[in-house]
Chain A
Amino acid sequence: MDGPDLVNLFVGIGLSEVKAKETAKNSNVSANLKSCINAASSVSSDEISKAHGMLLYHIATKIKPQISMQIPLLSRYVAEGKIDSELRLNAAMDYLISNPLGDVDIKAFEESCGVGVVVTPEQIEQEVEKVIKKYQAELVEKRYRFNVGPLMSEVRNNLKWGDGKVIKSEIELQVLSLLGPKTEADLAPPPKVEKVAKPKATKPTSSNKENLEVDSDSASTITELMKKVQFHKPGENFKTDGYVITEKTMDLLKEHLKITGGQVRTRFPPEPNGILHIGHAKAININFGYAAANDGVCFLRYDDTNPEKEEEKFFVGIKDMVEWLGYKPYQITHSSDNFDQLYEWAKVLIKKGLAYVCHQKAEEMKGFNPVPSPWRERPVNESLQLFEDMKNGMFEEGAATLRMKVTLEEGKLDPVAYRIKYVAHHRTGDRWCIYPTYDYTHCLCDSIEHITHSLCTKEFQSRRSSYYWLCNALDIYCPVQWEYGRLNVYYTVVSKRKIAKLITEKIVHDWDDPRLFTLTALRRRGFPPEAINNFCAGMGVTGAQMGVDPQKLEAVVKDTLDVTAPRSMVVLAPLKVTITNFPFDAPSTIEVPDFPKEVQRGSHSVTLDRVIYIDRSDFREVEEKGYRRLTKGQAVGLRYAGLVISLENVKKDASGQIVELEVKCTSSATCQEKPKAFIHWVSNPMFVEVRLYERLFQHQNPEDINEVPGGFLSDINPHSLSVVEAAADKSISGAKVYDKFQFERVGYFSVDPDSTGDKLIFNRTVMLKEDAGKS
């Protein structure tokens, strides 16, 4: 049956022309719908009514693949009128999916969807009465602002198979008779509830309809987000889309539940060959966060299958960063812990005829249309012996691999499970010269650790079927893989190789250079971990890949620091100012609150003397419209000092550079005209080094050859780092590494680990405003 016939068939059951056409295009749904219609037609020769048609369409679109063989059963029940609502239909499908094996127990099945249960209007009326009575007081008080939704579901709970529409109108009717018609007050807009601003992700760059099961909104904290996420319950793996059920599945799941006690188990599995970056922060948050929100546990598993790349410092660094983000691994494991088991399983695969030793070169396996391996059908014993030979060093590197007989979604043939490397492994030493691949190792380690939810980024969606295939081929517990969109941040690069290049080219100093988006860099720059976590929460767990402007992250950082970083006055470009009529004999001390909005959180002392320093940008010789700070004719206030200064004299050096201002002061309480602005200042300062950072790259996607034809190294922002000698108030002299401050009117700053006892060094975390020029 081709296009037009299909469309006619679908129109025949009541679909609109447009919908019928759309459906005909989707081969999956149309095949389902066709078998629905066939089954329904077999019940009676009458035409299928529109109501039945809609239910059949519901089956065709909503049925999960693992119960698609039950389409005829469901369709017959629809055609016979035994299942007559979506409610019943969904209950029926739920039942089937929960009981996937063996013949359908018809009695239990019918019970599950209420076949034959009739709910009379009288029953509904009584039930609604009961519920209304229960909430009467609240209803009368809130009147029409009372949300009747919960009432409906309560009635529903008690009358499982009641008609939703009838219940709704019954409730409306009874509410009306209780409250009378709406008054004017009822129609007025409701009093405003203050809304909390949420950081929002930019629009997803790509969207994928297929994976909408993971569809949760953003939230402000990870726990909040993870409570909303709709993943399967431990042990109900078989209910998820695409999960493959074998004869052993149910027993394995039973065993699995026995071992885990029904606990949620996730894992964060980084390769220990580099440094963690902002993208990993999302993975950490999702895995640890989901476990925490469900009283589960999360493993930190070093995916150390590749011997060439691992270095001890990366192992330590990864653990540090996980802990820095506030998470504690339930257990730290290594993929290499399982090398023996993996090797045994490889032999099982060979014996089952599901893997073979292949001698194609790496280049031959790559490319668009690779030639299938000529060694695919070699005898089991031969593969077994050759695999042993691989292990025993009888082949050159690359001269033999072990491949699995499975095709990936993207069409990749027979992925490699083992390859030869004459390289020592940092944990297994010189024991092995064959090492397993990601494709082979990952799912098996998940299975060994009894992971319930194997959460990974979207790129791995194409590996899901091979993941399931491998676990099932070995008859071992098969976890469920869920994918979420990868997080990409603009104006930066995160690949290990590219950062290494930036370091060797001396563009940045090291892996933790604050201009980078590695987690150590962000820590050094002064980003608080909770800000990073909340930022990730804001991204949600959708399947879409997203690109985010660093400003979005900075906004969350600012929100966090606003309530955590005490204020201090620091002048980045100091200009000496002498107050000629300084009203005190000696320097005076002023108590300044750490958080002006919350005075109770403490204060620090600031010295005020004859000589103060202000920022060069806070003075202009030439008056300018809209400039509100110090000029010849315009006085300016000094923050917290209670003084207003006006210019008397400008001193310059030989080159005409201003070196000092002389000013007169008046008390701000007595001055005639209130100054237009109050500026920050310091007296008797200490001098500190301040490193000011800007974006490292000029373009949004420095790696994109279309945007930056010269490659990412050509896109460096020459002003990404400037170092200034700043005058700081002495109250910050005791600051320790990573202490964070708001330099008033300037931005947030964090103490750099390079600081010494003699000299403090600050990194600019974020500016207060994008352009601090005016005000």
Chain B
Amino acid sequence: MDSAKIQQLGERAAKAEAEIMALMQQLTMLKSGVSGNGVEVNEEAEKLMAENAKLNYRINIMKRALEDNGSQRSAKKCTPQSDPNGMVNILLKLEELFGQAIEQAFPDVKGFQVVVVPTTPNFGDYQFNGAMSLSKLLRTLGKSLNPREVAGVIKESVPSNSVIDTLELAGPGYINIRLKASFVQEQLGLLLTRGVRPPCGVEKKRVIVDFSSPNIAKEMHVGHLRSTIIGDSICRLLEFLGHDVVRMNHVGDWGTQFGMLLAHLEDRFPNFAEETPPIGDLQSFYKESKIRFDSDADFKKRAYACVVKLQSHDPVYIKGWQAICDVSRREFQKIYDRLDIKIKERGESFYQDLMKKTVALLEEAGVLKEDDGRKVMFAPGIAVPLTIVKSDGGYTYDTSDMAAIRQRIHDEKADWVIYVVDLGQAGHFETIFACAEVAGWLDRKKTRVEHVGFGVVLGEDKKKFKSRSSETVRLVDLLDEGLRRAKEKLIEKERDKILTPEELESAQNAVAYGCVKYSDLAHNRNGDYVFSFDKMLEDKGNTAVYLLYAYTRIRSIARTANITDEQIKKAVADGIPLGHEKEMKLAKLLLRFPETIVRLTVDLFLHPLCEYLYEVSTVFTEFYDVCYCVEKDRTTGQIVHINMDRMALCEATANVMAQCFSLLGLKTVQKM
């Protein structure tokens, strides 16, 4: 080997070594991912990774949107307008799940109405019992399965979910549903953190509720009380559910009676056009003019002349009319204030000008018939027609009600119109609705109209409610008596020794107005209702007094234990175990609040809400009797231990009750 070769080899070796070094360096660089080429590689990778993360995120969002959309199409489901933080309507949720199960198991079946009902604890929490009718339906489609088999298939098809713990076949084809404890815990936690919120899944509507509606120049009597109380509670319910509610007072502020009132006004206060007439007592004013009207023919003539002037909008008579209305309005307002009622007045006078148009439209449509000089309108299947124009050319209540329903649907764009008027008017409203359909103003598929009727108020003798002098009972007197009786009751219970005068007064108000409202609402409104202060003021059973007292007691548990909201929040954050059977029972009942109130909107009966409220209160008592919330030392009375989970349950109960009271229009008090 010559030296040249050695040198050559040496060079090659050196080169190879350098290469190895360089490669090794690159390797370490690649491993640590820094400097040199590594940077670019890294940046690129990072960019792609970020991009990827975003795409994944987006997929997730889209998937969820699709799911929401899909279930939206499958019947009733959370519309986007509804409160996303709203409470879950468990019943609705279960019906959805069973709907999906049926769709999957029997794709041929269309439009099957899924119904789930709450059930007794022996069977579970809820029950699906549609297997029987579904079995019949399937037979018509050529599939022969007995109900139990149908139920079995459905049971297996219910999609996986976070709500249901177990499903159990029972009897001929029932499916008993038990809720997951974790779901109940979670929902109770949400109830506590978010408060008692309106349920999700409610489509927002514009609703006009026509209620109270007293007559100007007459006093409100006990008959108006029911319409006012029921109407107000319906409004409160619908407002809570998020609907756009218009509370409408369709007062009787137009008509021939104003002729005699105005004629009498001319005589008594000749300068009424310049100066507001000081009518103190509208009742006697009405009676005076009525006597003259009935006895004095001249006066009667003048009264008619006044009507004509009023209807031609003579400014002087309009002024007099206004003055008379104002006196009445002030009296009404006093009552509304006492009962905490908000309502917007839109009386019959509002529709005067619209009536002409209404008649013209009906004429045009060719639906009016001449009858002995009158113009009447028939609805299919109803024997008694509406009188739209009298033989003297005047209009009637029928005319103004037709004008009103058209205005409400057409101009007010109402999706739902509710008339809270006594049951005696049922036929009338049936006719009005039917005629509105005939006229093409009302499409029942788009607009819901209904007459919410109620029975008569009876005295304790089961006869029509009258005062001793057998006159109609004035509402003011009735409320005054309520206040007096409430106070007596409180003093009888020696509450005056515990409460401060202010507390006593607010308790008195809460009890007096509360019991009048509650006893009205707690009965099926379709029945006649016996007005009895003795019954109302009982402190046991399903009465306002008992419930208000139960409520203050629950509130006072937390108060005396000095619990702060933070402590409750912390307990919620830590999770509420609901380990005791009675705790679980109470929690499940509280979570039935959404389905309970949604159910009310089906037929606008309010007594189920009262029943629910009473049930909450009794189940709470069951819980409180066996579950210690605050443990005290027996001898010293000092607080030894506070069970925060149970305090949270107390809080939730009180909150749900408070919301029920609020829907019923009852005021709660801190102490009573």
Binding site for B on A (CB under 8 A): 340, 388, 391-394, 397, 422-424, 430, 433
Please measure, in the bound complex, the distance between the C-alpha atom of A340 and the C-alpha atom of B84, giving whole angstroms: 7
Q: How long is the Cα–Cα vector from A422 to B52 in the complex, in angstroms?
A: 10
User: Which A residues are CB-close (under 8 A) to B80?
Assistant: 388
Roughly how many angstroms separate A422 CA and B57 CA in the complex, as a whole number?
A: 6
Residue of B at shortest CB range from A339?
B84
Shortest beta-carbon distance, B67 to chain A, in Å? Answer: 11
Could you give, for residues 45-78 of chain B, a 1 whenever the CB lies within 8 Å of some chain A CB and a 0 otherwise? 0000000011101111110010000000000000
B60 CB to closest chain A CB (Å) equals 6
Residues of A close to B58: CB separation below 8 A: 393, 422, 433
Question: Which chain B residues (171-206) contact chain A, with CB distance < 8 Å?
Answer: none
Known: A340-B85, A388-B80. A430 touches B60 (CB 8 A): yes
Query: 26 A-B residue contacts at CB 8 Å?
Result: A340-B83, A340-B84, A340-B85, A388-B80, A391-B65, A392-B61, A392-B65, A393-B59, A393-B61, A393-B65, A394-B62, A397-B54, A422-B53, A422-B54, A422-B55, A422-B57, A422-B58, A422-B61, A423-B54, A423-B57, A424-B57, A430-B57, A430-B60, A430-B61, A433-B57, A433-B58
Whether the pair B61, A433 counts as a contact (CB closer than 8 A) is: yes
Report how many A-B pairs have Cβ atoms within 8 Å.
30
CB distance from A475 to the nearest CB of B (A): 14
Which residues of chain A come closer than 8 Å to B62, judged between CB atoms?
392-394
Q: Pick the most buried of B55, B58, B59, B85: most chain A CB atoms within 10 A of its CB.
A: B58
Residue of B nearest to A393 (CB): B61
| Interface size counted on chain B using CB atoms at 8 A | 14
The A interface is mostly helix, strand or loop, or mixed, namely loop
Q: Chain B residues with Cβ under 8 A from A423's Cβ?
A: 54, 57
CA distance A422 to B61 in the complex (A): 9
What 0/1 pattern do residues 17 to 59 of B give for CB contact below 8 A with A?
A: 0000000000000000000000000000000000001110111
> B469-505 CB contact bits vs A (8 Å, 1 = yes)?
0000000000000000000000000000000000000
Known: A393-B65, A422-B61, A433-B58. 6 other contacts (CB 8 A): A340-B83, A393-B62, A422-B53, A422-B55, A423-B57, A430-B60
Instruction: Point out the residues of chain B lying under 8 angstroms from A397, CB to CB.
Output: 54
Nearest residue (CB) in B for A434 is B61
Smallest distance from the beta carbon of B66 to chain A beta carbons, Å? 8
**Alpha-carbon distance between A392 and B58 when the two chains are bound, in angstroms:** 9
B508–chain A nearest beta-carbon distance, Å:
24
- Residue in A closest to B85 when the chains form the complex, CB atoms: A340
Task: State how many angstroms separate the Cβ of A362 from the closest Cβ of chain B.
Answer: 17
**Interface pairs A-B: 4 shortest CB-CB:** A392-B65, A393-B61, A422-B54, A422-B57
A-chain residues with CB within 8 Å of residue B60 when the two chains form the complex: 430
Query: Chain B contacts of A340 at CB under 8 A?
Result: 83-85
Q: Which residues of A contact B84 (CB under 8 A)?
A: 340
Query: Which residues of chain A are within 8 angstroms of B61 by Cβ–Cβ distance?
Result: 392-393, 422, 430, 433
| CB nearest neighbor in B for A396 | B58
Nearest CB in chain B to that of A343: its residue: B84
Chain A's nearest CB lies how many Å from the CB of B457?
36
Q: Tell me the bound Cα distance from A101 to B151 in angstroms.
A: 67
CB-CB under 8 A from B54, the residues of chain A are 397, 422-423
Residues of chain B within 8 A of A424, CB atoms compared: 57
A338 to chain B, nearest CB (A): 11
Measured CA separation A391–B85 after assembly (Å): 17
Tell me which residues across on chain A come within 8 A of B53, comparing CB atoms.
422
| CB-CB nearest in chain A for B55 | A422
Q: Which residues of B contact A391 (CB under 8 A)?
A: 65
A433 proximity list for chain B (CB < 8 A) = 57-58, 61
Contacts of A392 in B (CB 8 A): 61-62, 65
CA distance A430 to B54 in the complex (A): 11
Query: Across the interface, which residues of A come within 8 angstroms of B57, CB to CB?
Result: 422-424, 430, 433
**Distance to closest chain B CB from A701 (angstroms):** 34
Among B59, B61, B84, B85: residue with most chain A CB under 10 A: B61
Chain B residues whose CB sits within 8 angstroms of the CB of A422 once the complex forms? 53-55, 57-58, 61
The docked-state distance in angstroms from the alpha carbon of A430 to that of B83 is: 19
Closest to B54 in A: A422
Say how far A308's CB is from chain B's closest CB, in angstroms.
11
Query: Whose C-beta in chain B lies nearest to the C-beta of A340?
Result: B84
Minimal Cβ-Cβ distance residue in A for B51 = A422
The smallest C-beta distance from A243 to any residue of chain B, in angstroms, reads 29
- For A397, A422, A430, A433, which residue has the most chain B Cβ atoms within 10 angstroms? A422
A394 to B54, CA, bound (A): 13
Least CB distance from A226 to B in Å reads 28
Question: Smallest CB–CB gap between A310 and chain B, Å?
Answer: 16
* B183 to A: closest C-beta gap in Å: 19
A392–B80 Cα gap in the complex (Å)?
Answer: 12
**How far apart are the CA atoms of A340 and B197 in the complex, in Å?**
14
Q: Which of B275-307 contact A (CB under 8 A)?
A: none
Alpha-carbon distance between A430 and B59 when the two chains are bound, in angstroms = 11
Instruction: Output the least CB separation between B586 and chain A (Å).
Output: 29
* CB of B651, distance to nearest CB on chain A (Å): 19
Complex Cα–Cα for A353 and B85 (A):
26
Inter-chain contacts of B55 with A (CB < 8 A):
422
Q: Which A-chain residue is minimally distant from B83 (CB atoms)? A: A340
What CA separation (Å) do A423 and B80 show in the bound complex? 23
CB of A383 to closest CB in B, whole Å: 14
Closest CB of chain B to A286's CB: distance in Å?
28
In the complex, what distance in Å separates the CA atom of A423 from the CA atom of B61? 11
Of chain B, the residue at the smallest CB distance from A432 is B61
Interface positions of B from 361 to 392, Cβ below 8 Å from A: none
Closest to A397 in B: B54
Least CB separation from B80: chain A residue: A388
Nearest-CB residue, chain B, relative to A392:
B65
| Binary contact readout B339-351 vs A (1 if CB under 8 angstroms, 0 otherwise) | 0000000000000
Q: What is the CB-to-nearest-CB distance from B61 to chain A, in angstroms, rounded to a whole number?
A: 4
Q: Which residues of chain B have C-beta atoms less than 8 A from A430's C-beta?
A: 57, 60-61
Distance between B577 CB and nearest chain A CB, rounded to angstroms: 25
Give Cα distance in the complex from A345 to B59, angstroms.
26
* Minimum distance in angstroms from A712 CB to a CB of chain B: 25
User: Which of A340, A392, A430: most chain B CB closer than 10 A?
Assistant: A392
* A21–B58 CA distance with the chains assembled, in angstroms: 63
Q: Which residues of B contact A388 (CB under 8 A)?
A: 80
Q: What's the least CB distance linking B52 to chain A, in Å? A: 11
CA distance A422 to B55 in the complex (A): 7
Shortest Cβ distance from residue A227 to the other chain B in the assembled complex, whole angstroms: 31
In whole angstroms, how far apart are the Cα atoms of A340 and B83 in the complex?
8
In Å, the complex CA distance between A422 and B58 comes to 6
B427 to chain A, nearest CB (A): 41
Closest to A391 in B: B65
Q: How far is the CB of A37 from chain B (nearest CB, A)?
A: 39
Contact residues in A for B65 (Cβ distance below 8 Å):
391-393
Q: How far is the CA of A392 from the CA of B64 in the complex (A)?
A: 8
Taken together as a complex, chains A and B put the C-alpha atoms of A423 and B58 apart, in Å, by 9
Give Cα A738 to B147, complex, Å.
78
Among B62, B65, B83, B85, the one with the most A-chain Cβ atoms within 10 Å of its Cβ is B65
State the CA gap A388–B81 with chains docked (Å).
11
State the CA gap A556–B643 with chains docked (Å): 51
Q: Shortest distance in angstroms between A508's beta carbon and chain B's nearest beta carbon? A: 23
Query: With the chains together, A340 CA to B58 CA distance in Å?
Result: 19
Closest to B56 in A: A422
Complex: A430 Cα to B65 Cα, angstroms: 12
Q: How far is the CA of A683 from the CA of B83 in the complex (A)?
A: 75
Cα distance A394–B53 in the bound complex, in angstroms: 16
Most buried by B among A388, A391, A433: A433
Q: How far is the CA of A422 from the CA of B85 in the complex (A)?
A: 22
A381 to B: closest C-beta gap in Å = 14
A397 CA to B57 CA in the complex, in Å?
Answer: 12
- Give the complex CA separation of A394 and B61 in angstroms: 9
Q: What 0/1 pattern do residues 633 to 670 of B give for CB contact below 8 A with A?
A: 00000000000000000000000000000000000000
Q: How far is the CB of A400 from chain B (nearest CB, A)?
A: 13
Bound state CA distance, A391 and B65, in angstroms?
Answer: 8
Q: Nearest residue in A to B65 (C-beta to C-beta)? A: A392
Query: Interface readout for B65-107 with A: 1 if CB under 8 Å, 0 if not?
Result: 1000000000000001001110000000000000000000000
